[in-house]
Amino acid sequence: MTEPRVSSIDGKLAEEFAAPSHVDEVRERIAAFARLHAEAGRCVVLISSGGTKVPLESRTVRFLDNFSSGRRGAQSAEYFLETGYAVVFLHRHRSLYPYARTLSSINVLDALEFSGGTQEPDRVVVNPEVLPNMAKVLKKYREVTDAQLLLPIEFSTLSEYLHLLKASAQSLNAIGSKAMFYLAAAVSDFYIPVCDMPEHKIQSSNGPLQLSLKMVPKILSPLVKDWAPQAFVISFKLETDAAILLDKARRALETYRHQAVVANVLDSRRGYVVVVTPTSQHEVVLSKEDVNNQVEIEERIVTNLTAAHERFIEQQVG
Ligand code: 9Z3
């Protein structure tokens, strides 16, 4: 396997984005995870999920954030696992998590009760009316964790995300085309370099705040060209104006030369996406009936992309 190359963005990353102290440990863990699963004949997908925090002060009191809940990433992780992939889940701290997402819309205490209706403090059971599928979900979660198929890696800030994605890509490079990147995280386009950031809390007594933010380097470029050049890479394109969405998706494919873009509009993202590749455009739509049957669009997206990944691997080998 070829060594990952150094890119022109590496210098910028090192200078302007603080690396998390455990980045080398994460690199090692992902390398071991990839080895284990490649030896067992499995593909490995790295899913990025959730929004990024952009601090305004180095001892951070305030930061910029975005809307992403991490639902896309968490749901997709479950379908990749069902398809037989091992999953590196690079997710924003406290964003939705595979399987545990079932608990996200309730107050957990409302789903628990004392067994036999008595107030015995050490006997607590789940109320099946509040959480009807809990046993099924717990079983799947245990199977996945017992088989070490899910490797969670957390980030909070944009800097942590960029450094951890780079380290992950360099580690997954070792398994070539069997690695997939499914980049569903909503990553900030703007940031304040560490050298321009005030150390202490910005004082409101100084009057109105004017911010000058720099453009975040396009990380997809070194990922595709230098860090994991043989991998199958999918980026996500989000717009609020549907009229420009597909043009932007195609432009991304031309610029970065990766394998697919999943294009979605903020308001319709749970029920409609378009999977765009250099040679095709496939609409994935949930019907009213699908919605009533609680079908999740991620199941269809993952089916489409794992089939494309399989063809990609065959072409590389053949
Ligand atoms: C997406 O487009 C994801 O589908 C969502 C999922 C973030 C909309 P949720 O987390 O939402 O389920 O609430 N992710 C990528 C968004 C993005 O920021 N893309 C950038 C762009 O479109 C760069 S690849 O320019």
Ligand 1 atom 23: residue of nearest CA: 237
Supply the pLDDT for residue 119.
Answer: 67
Mean pLDDT (10-residue bins), the chain, 318 residues: 72 92 98 98 98 96 97 98 98 98 94 79 88 94 98 98 98 98 98 93 96 96 97 98 98 98 98 97 98 98 98 89
- What's the gap in Å between 72 CA and the centre of ligand 1? 9
Q: Where are the domains of the chain?
A: 8-102+149-230, 238-318
Q: How far is the CA of 235 from the centre of ligand 1 (A)?
A: 9
CATH tag, 8-102+149-230: 3.40.50.10300
Tell which atom from ligand 1 comes closest to the C-alpha of 75. 12
**CB of 170 shorter than 6 A to ligand 1:** no
pTM beyond 0.85: the answer is yes
Which amino acid residue places its CA nearest to atom 18 of ligand 1? 186
Q: Return the pLDDT at 56.
A: 97
Q: What is the pLDDT of residue 296?
A: 98
Which residues lie closer than 8 Å to 259 by C-beta, 6 or more apart?
232, 233, 234, 277, 278, 308, 312
Number of Cβ within a 10 Å radius of residue 167? 25
Q: Which atom of ligand 1 is nearest to the CA of 72?
A: 12
Closest ligand 1 atom, residue 239 Cα: 22
Cα dist from 23 to 40, 174, 213, 229, whole Å? 26, 18, 25, 21
